[in-house]
Amino acid sequence: MLNPKRMGEWLQINIPTEWEGKTVDEIFRHIWEAPKKTTHQFRMENKVLLDGSRVNWNMPLAAGSKLLLHLFEEEELRVRPNAQEIDILFEDDHVLIINKPPFMNTHPNDRDTDTLMNAAVFYLQAQGESRNIHQIHRLDRDTSGAILFAKHALAGSILDRMLEQRGIKRTYIAAVHGFFSQKKGIINKPIGRDRHHATRRRVSPSGQAAITHYQLVKEDKNRQISYVKCWLETGRTHQIRVHLSHLGHPIVGDTLYGGQPTINRQALHAARLEFIHPFTMESIICHAPFTDLKEIFQPIDVFSI
């Protein structure tokens, strides 16, 4: 495990024994797998120092030497800060994990600046950090739960790659209509747009590859509801909602995909988020408590997901 230390606008990393003999170029390209554009920027702008001096990117590093990365400079904000309470599940100098409430978009568009990203930028500004955060993944407006942001560009680029390579596991809990004949399975069905509806998706042979794993958690015989946990290998729009509906088990409240309107939104919650922290190498596991739909999710212990 690494123990990086923030020093003003710089991050100090004491080179561990397992990095001895590697070069800074190898750390960026092979350990962090940072994009070429990001690596080039750090090289050209002298954003990496070794023991206080400009580093030779191709010189083997010695264990115990001090690598400095310029990560925390102030930035001109691209998103308007908006004061709202946010429920923070985990935070350090590099990442911010928030328990997103329902009925809130993740990121702004031309019409909507009342979003989770606007609230997160305000939160950082209130802490004295003028920073453009990076959204790593998204949740539908009516879906609640854990969502990951990066607090600087290098963390953002590394986490983007980790998400693409399935290094970030997101586990959801859904309440669906009916009972499953199989307690667990894999739904491997491509998803495309529904040409008859502007926002709806559907299983389509010409769509994009989409893979959802599911496992039964609990059944409510009286209400004819099953609780399933789902995790994704791909991140298509409405993926879990489309796949469960395709199986004949639409999510409760998800009227777009056949669910009954017994509650005011789809009963889908991002319950657990886990990944290996790219700068500390710690295993980060976050559970997101339910903030609404107590009448639906009351039987579920989110910390057991």
Check if 140 is active-site: yes
Q: CA–CA separation, 288 vs 273, rounded Å?
A: 8
CA–CA separation, 229 vs 217, rounded Å? 7
Q: Give strand pairing partners of 211.
A: 188
Report, in angstroms and rounded to the nearest whole number, the Rg of the chain calculated over CA atoms.
22
CA 295, CA 112: separation in Å to the nearest integer?
Answer: 30
In order of 12, 29, 232, 236, 304, the CA distances from 179 in angstroms are: 53, 48, 21, 25, 21
In the three-class reduction of DSSP (H, G, I as helix; E, B as strand; rest coil), residue 60 is classed as: coil
Among residues 113, 20, 99, 127, the alpha carbon closest in space to that of 67 is found at: 20
Q: Say which of 51, 87, 114, 140 is annotated catalytic.
A: 140
Q: Which residue, among 4, 28, 13, has the nearest Cα to 68 in the 3D structure?
A: 13
**Phi, psi of 239, rounded to the nearest 5 degrees:** -55, -50
Asked if 97 and 149 count as a contact pair (C-beta separation under 8 A), the reply is yes
The kind and range of the H/E element at 14 are strand 10-14
SS3 170: strand
State both tokens at 53: 């001096």
**H-run or E-run covering 145:** strand 144-150
48 Cβ contact partners less than 8 Å away, ≥ 6 residues apart:
24, 42, 55, 57, 67, 68, 69, 70
Percentage helix, strand, coil, to 5, in the chain?
A: 20, 30, 50
CA torsion sign, 81 to 83 to 87 to 90? Answer: positive
* Catalytic center residues: 140
